[in-house]
Amino acid sequence: MGYFREGDARAIIREAYGQVQADGATVAEAFYAPQELARIPREAVELALGVGHPIRHASLRPGEVVLDLGCGAGIDTLLAALAVGPGGRAIGLDMTPEMVERTRRHAAAAGLANVEVREGLIEEIPLPDASVDVVVSNGVLNLSTRKSRVLAETMRVLKPGGRVSLSDLVLIETLPEEVLKSPAALAG
């Protein structure tokens, strides 16, 4: 990430994710069970771009408030909303207007009134202190040039005893410089 300034990185990522089109469900099928996908609108399934299944490890309970950092087209936000039920709330946060709109549309299509979607940065979470029971995120933290800031914001919005379940990609060995300098690699 050191090859890109924060503003440049954000613009590259916003453009890449804003323009991405549904292209089959092969990503979602790699991580989610068929019975889970059956409850989610098809476009949200086809636009799943995560790298794991953080909801599976979040131990969500009815009535909880869940925040999905970088919600994309909303698959994890919607699964969280189903898990916490009508007495709970799932909040999707994304910096890309197209993704915010998609998640809103998918929540409406799924009939989930307990989904709230906000446009904003994961480095400046637009929520009050201690207002969230669980923070989830799927393949998003690696896109930030300020990961510690994202985690500090996560701590701020979590209630005492609140939980985090986060999927992401990590390097075990470094990548060649020509890859690290590639905007396409940054967006992934």
Partner 1 sequence: MLLKKFFNVGLEDIAVVERKPFGLADLARYPLFTKEFLAFLRNAMPVHRHEELVFSIVITAHKPFA
**What b-and-e string marks burial along 27-41, b requiring 16 or more CB atoms within 10 Å of the CB?**
bbeebbeeebbeebb
Q: Is 87 in the site for partner 1 (CB under 8 A)?
A: no
Q: Is 154 in the site for partner 1 (CB under 8 A)?
A: yes
Rounded CA Rg of the chain: 16
- CA distances from residue 141 to 14, 137, 144 in whole angstroms, order as listed: 14, 8, 6
Distance in angstroms (rounded) separating the CA atoms of residues 119 and 122: 10
Among 87, 111, 128, 173, binds partner 1 (CB under 8 A): 173
Q: Is 14 in the site for partner 1 (CB under 8 A)?
A: no
Torsions phi, psi for 141 (to 5 deg): -55, -35
Site for partner 1 in 56-85 (CB under 8 A): 56-58
Among 45, 49, 66, 117, binds partner 1 (CB under 8 A): 49
Distance in angstroms (rounded) separating the CA atoms of residues 165 and 139: 11
Least distance (Å) from partner 1 to the CB of residue 58? 8
Among 16, 109, 110, 127, binds partner 1 (CB under 8 A): 16
Distance in angstroms (rounded) separating the CA atoms of residues 61 and 50: 22
Least distance (Å) from partner 1 to the CB of residue 152? 5
Is the CA virtual torsion 101, 105, 107, 113 positive or negative?
A: positive
Least distance (Å) from partner 1 to the CB of residue 74? 16
Least distance (Å) from partner 1 to the CB of residue 118? 21
Q: Are 127 and 98 in contact (CB under 8 A)?
A: no
Among 9, 10, 27, 73, binds partner 1 (CB under 8 A): 27
Nearer to partner 1, 26 or 35 (CB): 26
Look-up of token digits 């040039």: 145
Nearer to partner 1, 112 or 153 (CB): 153
Q: Which stretches of the chain bind partner 1, using CB under 8 A?
A: 16-17, 20-23, 26-27, 30, 49, 51-54, 56-58, 141, 147-148, 151-152, 154-155, 158-173, 175-176, 178-179, 182, 184-185, 187-188
